[in-house]
Structure 1
Amino acid sequence: MKGTVMKSSLETPTVMVEEKVKKRSSLEKKETRDAWIMMSPALVILLLIAVYPILRTIWISLHEMVLTDPASGYPFVGLDNYIKIFHDHRAIVSILFTLKFTVVTVFFELVVGFGAALLMNKAFKGRGFVRAAILVPWAIPTSVSALMWKFIYNDQYGLFNDILYKLHIIDAYRAWLSTSSGSFMALVLTDVWKTAPYMALLILAGLQMVPKELYESAKMDGANTLQIFTKITLPNVKTTVVVALLFRTLDAFRVYDLIAVMTGGANGTESVSVYAYNNLMKFLDFGYGSAMAVLIFLVVFIISLIYMKLLGNKLTES
C-alpha cells in the first residue's frame, strides 16, 4: 500500500510536466497559426507585386516576343535569348561599362563617405547644420540631380566650365558630355556627389556605436591618429562598411535614371539597365529585353550572396 502511494506521488510530477509541455506546444501552434493568418495579406501582396513579375519576366525571356511581329506567335526559344546576350557586342560593352561604373563610383563614394562620416562624428560648432547640409544631395531625386548636373556641364553656360576656366585649368569651354571620357567623368562625379552622403550616413551610424573609452585608452597609451584609425575605428565599423558597400554596389549596377537623363547612353555610357530598357520599350523586343532584365537580377543576386557571405564572416569574427 505504501509502495503504491509512493509510486503515484512520483508519477504525479511527470504527468504535470507532460501536461505543461502539451499546453505549451498547443499554444505555440496556435501562435504560429495566428502569425501566418496575420501575415497572409502581406504575403499575397508580395506575391502579386514581386514574385509574379519576376516569374512572368523569366517566362517571357524564354520566348521570341517581338511586338512588331505579332504574326510570329511568340514561339518558345528556350535559352536562345540568353545565349544571344553573349554574342551581342553592344550588350557586352554595356556590361563592361556597368562593371567599370560600379567599381569606380563605389570606391570614391566609400572614400568620400568615410571622410564625411569622420568629420560629422567630431564635436564642433555647427555640426548639426553640417550634417543636414551633407545629406541634401542624397535627398534630391536622381532624375532631378542628373538634369541639374547636365546644365552644370553645359558647354556654353555651364558652371563647371566657368569654374575651371577661371582657375586656368582649361583655356576654353568644353562639351564634357560629347566625349566618352568626359561623359564617364561627369557621370562618376555626379553619382558620387549624389550618393556619397548616403554612404556617410550609414558609416556615421557605425562610428557612433564605437565606445569613446577605446579612443581615450588609445590616446593614453600614446597611439597616433593613424594607429587609432586602423586599430580601433576600422575594426569596429567594418560590418557597417560592408552593409553600405552592399547597398551601393547593388544600386550602382542597376543604374538607369542618371545615365538616361544625362547622356541617354551615348558615347559608350550605355548601362545594362539602359540597354534592357531600349530593347523593351524602343525596339519592342520583349523576349531579349526580358532576358537582359533577368541577367541583371541574377548578377544582383550573386553580388548579394557574396556580400552576405562576407557580412556573415564579419559578424562571426566580431
Structure 2
Amino acid sequence: MVRTADTGLARQRRRSAWLFLAPMLAVLALVAFEPLARSLWLSLTDAKIDKLAGRFVGIENYVGEYGLFFTGESWIDPAWAAAVVNTLRFALVSVSIETVLAFAIALVLNAEFRGRSLVTAAVLVPWAVPTVVSAKLWDWMLQQQFGVVNFALAALGHERIAFTTDYPMWSVVLVDVWKTTPFMALLILAALKMLPSDCYEAALVDGVHPVKVFFRVTLPLVKQALMVAVIFRLLDALRVFDVIYVMTGSTGSTISMSGFVRDQMMENGYVGFGSAASTVLFVIIAACTLLYMKVARVRAEGAP
C-alpha cells in the first residue's frame, strides 16, 4: 500500500515537473528548434537570396560537385576546409590561453588584499564592453600608422608592425583573450569562494608547498567549475564571427565557419549552400560538446 502511494506521488511530481517545463520548452521550440529545422530544410534546396522557395536537391549541397564534401577535385571544399581549420585553431589557442590567464586572475582575486573590490571591477570591464566595440577599439589601437601600440613601438625605436595584416590570427586571438578572460575568471573565482578553508589550514600546518596545494587541493576541487567554464568558452569560440569580421574581414587566413556561412548567404546569395554549411557547423559544435563532456565524465569517474 505504501509502495502504491509512493508511485502515485512520483507520477504526480513528474506531471508537475512537465507542467512547469512546458512554457520553457515551447519558447525553446520557437527560438531554437524551428530555425534549426528551417535551416536544415533550406540546406536540401537550391534556394537563393532572391528566391527562397528553391527546388529540392537532396544532399547536393553536402556531397557533390558543388557541395561541401567530395566535390570531385577534393574530398572537401577548399574554402570550407580553410574556415574549419581557422575556427578550430582559433578556438583551441584562445580557450587555452584564456583558461590559464583566468585561473591566475581568479587566484589573485581570491586572495585578501586592500582594494580587491576595485581590482575585481576593473578586471570585469573588458567583458562588459560589446564585442564589436572592443574589436573596433583594438583595430584602431593596432593600426600601423596611427595606432597607439605602434606609436609606443616607434617611441622605443622599433619598426611599426601591421598587426592585422602580418599577424591576423594572433591579432584576433589577442582581442578575444582580452575580451573573454574575465568571464572565465569570474566562473573560476565563484568556485574558489566555495572551497572549504579547513583543507588549506591543514596544508599550512603541515608545511605543504603552495604549488603542491594548488595541484593537489585547489585544482581537483574546482575541476567541475573549470570544465563548465571551458565548455562555455569553447562553444562560443567555435561559432565566432564578429571579432574576426570586424578586424580582418573575410580573408582566407582568418575566416571562420560562421563567416563562411555569412559570405555564402549574403555575399554570394547561395542560401541553400550556406544553410548546409550552417548545419555542418551545428553538427561540429554538437560533436565537440559531446566529446568534451564524455572525456570530462570519464576523467571525473576515474579520479581517485
Cross-structure match for 1:176: 163
Specify which structure has the higher proportion of helix.
1
Deviation at 1:264, TM superposition (A): 1.1
In 2, Cα distance between the equivalents of 1:74 and 1:61?
10
| Unpaired stretches in structure 2, ≥5 consecutive residues | 70-75
1:53 aligns with 2:35: yes
Structure 1 residue 27, shift from structure 2 partner: 4.7
Question: Is contact 2:46–2:272 with CA below 8 Å preserved after alignment?
Answer: yes
Q: CA RMSD in A?
A: 2.0
Mapped partners of 1:287, 1:279: distance in 2: 9
Aligned twin of 2:246: 261
Q: How does 1:116-155 map to 2 (within 5 A)?
A: 116-155=105-144
Counterpart position of 1:279: 264
Residue in structure 2 matched with residue 85 of structure 1 by the alignment? 68
Give yes or no for contact 1:143–1:257 (8 Å, CA) kept in 2: yes
For the Cα contact (< 8 Å) 1:239–1:314, is it kept in 2? no
Find the aligned partners of 2:100 and 2:15 in 1 and give their Cα distance: 48
Q: Which amino acid aligns with 1:47?
A: A
2:255 to 244, 264, 270: 270
Deviates more, 1:33-42 or 1:223-232: 33-42
Which residue of 2 is the match for residue 7 of structure 1?
Answer: none
Name the structure 2 match of 1:201.
186
1:1-318 pair list within 5 angstroms: 18=1, 21-68=3-50, 70=51, 74-83=54-63, 84-86=67-69, 87-168=76-157, 170-171=158-159, 173-179=160-166, 182-266=167-251, 268-316=253-301, 317=303
Describe the SS at the equivalent of 1:85. Answer: coil
CA separation of 1:290/1:267 partners in 2, compared to 1, >3 Å: closer, same or farther? closer
The alignment's TM-score, normalised by the length of structure 1, stands at: 0.86
Task: Output the TM-score relative to the length of structure 2.
Answer: 0.89
Aligned letter for 1:138? W
CA distance in 1, matches of 2:172, 2:124: 19
Deviates more, 1:223-232 or 1:32-41: 32-41
- Structure 1 residue 26 displacement after superposition: 4.2
Letter in 1 for 2:117: G
The answer as to whether partners of 2:265 and 2:271 remain within 8 angstroms in 1 is yes
Percent identity over the alignment is: 38
SS at match of 2:61: helix
Cα 1:73–1:222 change in 2 (3 A) is closer
Where 1:80 maps in the other structure, the secondary structure is coil
Q: Shift of the alpha carbon at 1:162?
A: 1.6
Task: Say if 1:98 and 1:272, in contact at 8 Å, map to a contact too.
Answer: yes
Partners in 2 of 1:155 and 1:204 — Cα distance? 37
Mean Cα deviation higher: 42-51 or 89-98: 42-51
Distance 1:215 1:165 in 2: 48
Tell me, in whole angstroms, the C-alpha distance in 1 between the residues paired with 2:216 and 2:85.
36
For residues 154 and 86 of structure 2, the distance between their equivalents in structure 1, rounded to whole angstroms, comes to 30
Count residues with an aligned counterpart: 294
Shift of 1:47: 1.2
Q: CA deviation at 1:73?
A: 6.7
Runs of 4+ in 1 over 6 A off after TM superposition: none
Q: Distance in 2 between matches of 1:74 and 1:107?
A: 43
Q: Distance in 1 between matches of 2:174 and 2:8?
A: 60
Higher CA-based Rg: 1
Q: Summarize deviations over 1:255-310 as a string: whole Å, max 9, x none.
A: 01111111112251111100101111221111110111111111111111122223
- What whole-Å deviation, never above 9, does each CA across 1:201-235 have from its counterpart, x for those lacking one? 11112222222222222222222122112111211
The answer to whether the Cα contact below 8 Å between 1:183 and 1:267 also exists between their aligned partners in 2 is no
Distance in 1 of aligned mates of 2:209 and 2:16: 57
From the superposition, tell whether residues 222 and 39 of structure 1 become closer, same or farther in structure 2 (CA, over 3 Å): closer
For structure 1, list consecutive stretches of 5 or more residues without a partner in the other structure: 1-17
The alpha carbon displacement at 1:131 in A equals 0.8
SS at match of 2:109: helix
Whether contact under 8 Å (1:99, 1:253) holds in the other structure is: yes
Contact 1:101 1:188 in 2 (8 A): yes
